[in-house]
Structure 1
């Protein structure tokens, strides 16, 4: 059962009269039989029914759990192509979208997940930012490269495992309009400046398995600090989705997959 989770945060720097409906989807981990193209299309239909102004996809489209078979990028991307929003569908890549690829591979061209998304009409952000105009107002949408793109089993203490460049990304912003920042892994959050209105992440699956209120396994150097939900630190806002699919084992316990609706503005 996929949950529907609504957030309506008051964000610093976001104009109260700029009302924006954002659907957030993350961590599909497309595969047979747990997240095939039909399942993805059904999720997209539910997302479209929320009538979003914009859709944000937060990475890990590929790489299913154990006991699953790979779904070709063209299949899952074709299903995602059914998403519809006036301001478009926008995405970052996750660490699993780089599975079996090295930094040298990436330097020679896009990985299959990126190509498949672009072919499906989805805008892909890798350390880039774009100004979006909405009802006569503007905001910036930025997206980081995965911080764990090349982890391939190394510990979280290993340096230089990712593609993220937050300074270069935010350096593309040319005015004081609010910024929404997509970052697959929430571990970047301590380095995100207050200039960003909201950081949106996935990756953790909400812990995927919760026992007695605890999440024993969280793929983060911060453990449960950024495992799930709306988190505020020093006036800075982070939203972490529980995602939709599975990683490792095809099991979720007390952490439902979710479609997130984010409602911004509406306060004059």
Structure 2
């Protein structure tokens, strides 16, 4: 028989381990998935012009209405937080509905669109569809959004003209750019050539789509590509990484700002971790976020000065 003090120590260790596991489970399956925050990202894409400095782009990806903690009340909060961030343009990067998530329930796209209609941005609100939207019915989801005044860009583009106002120095200037929507890499045609047809090559081009796996196919003329789909893997384990990322490229396009060099040209991608959950209602160290991108021109390169002795 083990000494009483040894049994006590082992009991305490077991209780401590059980408490830690309980706290981690509560965090991953309740606290983090039910949270929502606005995260500001400052990006400096190559070739972004100074006259468009400060353009604020809000990205709402993977709403997955009906996943746990992501009902219509949460969507109302998301819309309010997005509007409070005062974006110049709002991009909805697909997957408005959900199928098969544990503990979830279906929310009709028409009900979601009624709330999304309250999003406000001076340059407009634009959308593409995700794979879950196609699995439900792409025409139904697309119509629900369009009927509420949201512009659907599926392998199409639109020239955007907006006035950027700087409160600090009380100045304003016109910003013009091409906005290109590319349909889902898995389920849509993702016809990049058609999507880019007729764009003005003298102004910058922003492309947005659902699945970032299309990024290697995006031509260099696109200044910045914006996507969602991955949910940032939903789970990030320190020293291990993201165990599951729905991408053929593993963690390469999992989350955040990504740059790639091609033939001496830098290509830029931003992947939002999104808001909802899929398959399992879990998030760990990948909290849901409304991504707000502030786009700025590259920092001018200044040669270092060497003092001669």
TM over 0.5: yes
Find the aligned partners of 1:100 and 1:200 in 2 and give their Cα distance. Answer: 23
Q: 1:82 aligns with which of 118, 124, 128?
A: 118
Verify the 8 A CA contact 2:46 2:297 in the aligned structure 1: no
Q: 1:261 aligns with which of 270, 292, 296?
A: 292
Larger-Rg structure: 2
Verify the 8 A CA contact 1:38 1:79 in the aligned structure 2: no
Q: 1:10 aligns with which of 38, 41, 44?
A: 44
Matched, 1:46 2:81: yes
Structure 1 residue 100: deviation in Å? Answer: 4.5
Cα deviation code 1:130-177 (max 9, x no counterpart):
00112333100001111112xxxxxxxxxxxx4201111112313321
Q: 2:154 aligns with which of 119, 123, 126?
A: 126
Aligned to 1:252: 283
Aligned to 2:19: none
Aligned to 1:25: 60
Find the aligned partners of 1:173 and 1:187 in 2 and give their Cα distance. Answer: 23
Find the aligned partners of 1:114 and 1:264 in 2 and give their Cα distance. Answer: 28
Query: What secondary structure does 1:137 align onto?
Result: strand
**Unpaired segments ≥5 residues, structure 1:** 102-109, 150-161
Find the aligned partners of 1:137 and 1:9 in 2 and give their Cα distance. Answer: 17
Query: What secondary structure does 1:8 align onto?
Result: strand
Runs of 4 or more off by more than 4 Å in structure 1?
none
Aligned to 1:240: 271
Aligned to 2:129: 93
Query: What secondary structure does 1:21 align onto?
Result: strand
Higher helix share: 2
Distance 1:35 1:148, change over 3 A: same
Aligned to 2:204: 178
**Unpaired segments ≥5 residues, structure 2:** 1-34, 164-173, 300-309
Find the aligned partners of 2:157 and 2:241 in 1 and give their Cα distance. Answer: 36
Find the aligned partners of 1:55 and 1:100 in 2 and give their Cα distance. Answer: 24
TM-score normalised by structure 2 residue count: 0.77
Query: What secondary structure does 1:99 align onto?
Result: helix
Cα deviation code 1:203-258 (max 9, x no counterpart):
00000112234111111111111000000001110000000000001111111001
Structure 1 residue 34: deviation in Å? Answer: 2.5
Aligned to 2:106: 70
Q: 1:169 aligns with which of 187, 195, 204?
A: 195
